[in-house]
Every structure is written in structure tokens, then in C-alpha cells.
Structure 1
Amino acid sequence: MFFATIFFMVVKIFVKMLPHIPPMEIVFFRCIISFLITYYLLKNQGHDILGKNRSLLMLRGIFGTIGLYCYFVILQDIPLATASTLIYFTPLFTTLVGVVILKEKMKTIQWFFLFIAFIGIVIIQGFDPRVNIFYLLVGLSGSFCAAFAYNIIRYLRDREHSLVLMIYFPMVAFPVGGILSIFNWVQPSFYDLIILISIGIFTQFAQYFMTKSFQSEKVSKVSIVSYSELVFVVLIGNIFFNENFDILVYIGMLLVTFGVVFNILLSKDDKKYL
């Protein structure tokens, strides 16, 4: 999971380096590369790319696209560490959606740690003027959409090939991103193109290493390594993007991370985020 964390962190930095490129345009470039790579792998293995549960697969793609767009918006417009903290809510929302949709159970103590995480968000929003209600809602909406997509994956993981589950995300996202980008297109420079292509490639590597980690380790162990990224993004944001925080904001970030990690550790089904 260490390599996946590094690659995901590099992707965040690349997105942060493109504040002049609209988020939906970044979605387009990131997903067309993922689509081409996944399509090649599927065809090479002789699988039907459309799968059997097409309505649910399409929903997986739609929710994934909305989540990615929200993700890129907050990465560009608010501090790197704060954006990462909002994204950490995805596994909590995955659990909540699972309770409603898949009729799963949550332990009482998990609700307590969920409350702790939300207290952390309130502190961050209250003491960091760069994080207004709009960006807070965008970040949490992105995490919720990603959680909905993950629950669809969980439901279909024994019914569809893993590559089919993967391809529906970029297969929806890149045409949507391309069409919507027409109205707000910014011509990338050669330097921008290199970064945009790198975002797609690094994301693919990150997903590969993350999948391998989830296959070989419990999600709780993998997640702890993943959330250690916060230390690095705080340092990177400070050094390269001149991002500084009030001490209370750091406390809020720690509360969110604490709440999320312990919620996962206490999860009954330690494989459920696969």
C-alpha cells in the first residue's frame, strides 16, 4: 500500500499544479487514459466490456464521475491537506450507505467514531477561512458519491469481472468530461499535457498497487498506511504551496483521521471496502 499511497499523493500534487485547467477537463484526460489501458486489458483477455449488470455498472460510472469531479475541485481550490481530509470521509460514507442499501450493521462504538470525525470537520471549517461551506459540501458530496460507487462495486464484485467494474468509471467519465469541457476548454500547454497524461498513468499505477494490497492484507492494515499520507501532504502543502494552518485545524484533521481509522478497525467485515 506504500507505493499506492505515494502514487495517489503525486496525483494530488499534479492536480494542484494545474489551477488554470478546469476540473472537468482534468477528469477527461485522466479517464481517457484509464479507459484505453483497461479496454486493452479486457480485450486482450477476451472479456465482454459491457458486463451483465449494465444498469448498476452505469450507476457506478455516474457516481464515480461526480465523485472525481468534486475531488478535483477541492484539490485545486483549498489546501492540499484539507482536501485530503475531506476525501477521507469516503470509507465512513461507504459504511453508512452499506447500512441503508445493503442492510449491514454498524456497532454502537462506530457511531461514536463517526461523530468524532464530523466534529473534526466542523473544527476545520470553523477555523480555516479558506474552507467555506461550498467547498465543504463539494468535498463531502464527492466522498458520498464515491461511497455509493464503492457499494455498487461491493455488490457486483462476485458477479462481474474486476476489469469490467473498473472500465465503467472511465467509460462514463471521459465522454462526459469531454462534452462538458467544450464549454469551458482551456488549451493545455505542452507542460500541462505532460502533467495531465501523468495524472492518468500514475492513477492507474496507484489503483494497481492498491488492489494488490487489498488482496493480500486486511483493509484495516492497508487503510492505516494510506491515512499516514496526511503527514506528507501537510509537509508538501507547506513547502511547495505555502499552505499553513491554525493549530485547531491540525487538531480537526487528526480527529477526522482518528475517527475514520478506528471506524475501519472496528468494522465487522474487514474486507468490505474492496
Structure 2
Amino acid sequence: MPNTSSNPPLLKAIGFLMLSAFLFSIMGVCVRYASHTVDNASVVFFRNIFGLLIFLPLVFNKGLSHFKTEKLWMHTWRSIAGLAAMYGFFYAIAHLKLSNAMVFTYSSPIFIPLIAWLFLKEKITKPMLLAAAIGLIGVVFVAKPDDGFFNSISAIGLSASFLAAMAYVTVRALTHTEPPERIVFYFCVIGSLVSAIPMFWLWRPYTLHEIGLLAAAGILASISQMFMSYAYKMAPAGQIGPVNYSAIIFAGTWGYLFWQETPDHYSIIGFGFIILAIVLCSPLLQNRLAKQ
């Protein structure tokens, strides 16, 4: 492992990933409100199509040649995995507490080190495993397994988590040759084309309120993914993955503010573990723990 204590890009990667998680949690609020009246297939489609709109200025400025790629098959795989995860995640948001839905989605750091090791041959270190394990303990405290936690919706949420981890690792691989804006651009294009198929059968007129929520969700999600792509370009996926747990804290905050979902003492303890997992990703601690 490099001397991360003198590695500013790692600190920047952690900051970008936390900002990505923050924006993604706000997107979750928009999806939650939109899901009250809009079906899941339409939410996924509009999230992609509105997310694609933010690239129009870049296309006009740099031209379509900027988005040419020799990694189309990797973009396609990343898009399929990410889109499948999105369907599951949005379904969980619509049927679970926002914080619980985020718990499932952001459990992906548990899988990231293993997937990164299998496909990218990235080294799994003890600090990585420790951070992932502590984050998982925090997830359990926040979610508090009960009758409403382990059910069919939970299975969908956990499946989305695994698929999201595969997408994140693919993003890491793509960043070796592809700029972040190209990665997100292809995700939105492929996602829009694929998600248009099920949405077509459910099409109906939408209110301005619904369109506003869906547009906000799409734009926030794409900006969030841009920051995520920049983060994974700067640091190994397994090393910074646990920072994603911060989205659960953000989601808990929004759940309290908008739906009066008050965290109990177990949730507070869980947040503490999650914060500790994030702290363990810091350059100084990563370097010290790796030497032990």
C-alpha cells in the first residue's frame, strides 16, 4: 500500500465520495415523494432521461467525439448492473423507511473489496476489512432486524446492494481510460434506452409537481455519480468504499425532517459505528493500520 499519509488525492477522493452520498440521499427524498404517485418503472426512466440532460451543454461544447469510447462493452455491463440496482433501490425507497432503504443500498462496501479483488486484482488489506466490518455493524444497529427488515423487499434491497457494488468496481476499472463524464453519460444513455421499454406500457400524463421531482432526482443522481466516478478514479474502490455509509446518516436526517422518522438509541449507536468506519478510511489511519 502506498504511503497514504502523504497522498492528497485520497483525501480528495473521500471528500468527493461523501459529497456524492449527500447528493444521492437528497435524490432519495425526491424519489420517495415521486413514488407516492408514479410507478417504479417510470421513476427509473425519468431519472435516467433527466440525468442525461445535464450533458447537453457538454455535447454542444466539446462535440460527440468527446464521448467516443473503445470500452463500450464495459459501459454496457456497468449500465446493466447499475440499472438493475436502481430498480431495486427505488422500490425499496418506495416501500421502506428512507434510512432503511439507504442501509440496503449502501451495504455495497461489504461486497466491494471482494469484487475488486476478484476482477481488478486489488489487494484486500486488514484496514479495508476492518472498516467494512465496522460499517456493517453500524448498518445492523441502524436497521434493527425485525419483522419488517428481513422480507421480500429486503431481499430486493440486498440484491440491489450487490449489483451496485459490481457497478462501482466497474466504474473503478473504467476510470483507468475513461473520464468520469463519459462514464456517467453512457450510463444515462443506455439506462434511458433500456428503461424506456417497461415504462412505455405504463405511460400516462404527469403533473408538473411529478415532473419537477423526477427532474430533480435525475439531475442530482447524475451529479452524484460524477463525483463518485472522480472519487474512484483517485483511489481504490475497496479502500474508500465504506465512505458510502455516510449516506445512511444523511438519509436518517431527511427521514426525521420530512417524515418524522426519529432515530432511537440503537440508530445513534449505529451512526457512531458508521462514522468510525469512515474515519478508518482516512489516509493516516490506513497507513498506520497497514504497517501493523
Please give the range of the TM-score, normalised by the shorter of the 2 chains. 0.7 to 0.9
Q: Does 1:21 align with 2:25?
A: no
| 1:272 corresponds to | none
Paired residues for 1:30-69 under 5 Å: 30-38=47-55, 40-42=57-59, 44-46=61-63, 47=65, 49-69=67-87
| 2:122 corresponds to | 104
Q: What amino acid does structure 1 have at the position aligned with 2:28?
A: K
Mean Cα deviation higher: 247-256 or 164-173: 247-256
Residue by residue over 1:49-77, the C-alpha shift from the partner in whole angstroms, topping out at 9 and shown as x without a partner, is 35112211211111111122222111221
| 1:164 corresponds to | 182
Q: Take 1:213 and 1:106, find their aligned partners in 2: how far apart are those partners?
A: 18
Q: CA RMSD in A?
A: 3.5
The Cα of 1:169 is off from its aligned counterpart by: 0.9
Give the length in aligned residue pairs. Answer: 267
| 2:11 corresponds to | none
Any idea what SS the aligned residue of 1:17 has? helix
> In 2, are the aligned partners of 1:98 and 1:104 still within 8 Å (CA)?
yes
> In 2, are the aligned partners of 1:127 and 1:246 still within 8 Å (CA)?
no
Mean Cα deviation higher: 111-120 or 169-178: 111-120
Residue by residue over 1:141-173, the C-alpha shift from the partner in whole angstroms, topping out at 9 and shown as x without a partner, is 222212212222222223234332222211121
Q: 1:238 aligns with which of 243, 252, 256?
A: 256
Q: Does 1:71 align with 2:105?
A: no
The alignment-based identity, stated in percent, is 25
The Cα of 1:35 is off from its aligned counterpart by: 2.2
Q: TM-score, length-normalised on structure 2?
A: 0.74
Any idea what SS the aligned residue of 1:83 has? helix
Q: Does 1:12 align with 2:25?
A: no
Q: 1:81 aligns with which of 99, 109, 113?
A: 99
> In 2, are the aligned partners of 1:88 and 1:260 still within 8 Å (CA)?
no
Paired residues for 1:1-274 under 5 Å: 1=16, 4-18=20-34, 19-38=36-55, 40-42=57-59, 44-46=61-63, 47=65, 49-122=67-140, 127-185=145-203, 187-208=205-226, 227-252=245-270, 254-255=272-273, 258-259=276-277, 262=280
Any idea what SS the aligned residue of 1:20 has? coil
Q: TM-score, length-normalised on structure 1?
A: 0.79
Q: Take 2:110 and 2:279, find their aligned partners in 1: how far apart are those partners?
A: 9
Any idea what SS the aligned residue of 2:194 has? helix
The Cα of 1:239 is off from its aligned counterpart by: 3.3
Distance 1:264 1:29, change over 3 A: farther
Mean Cα deviation higher: 211-220 or 64-73: 211-220
Q: Take 1:218 and 1:62, find their aligned partners in 2: how far apart are those partners?
A: 22
Q: Which runs of 5+ in 1 are unaligned?
A: 269-274
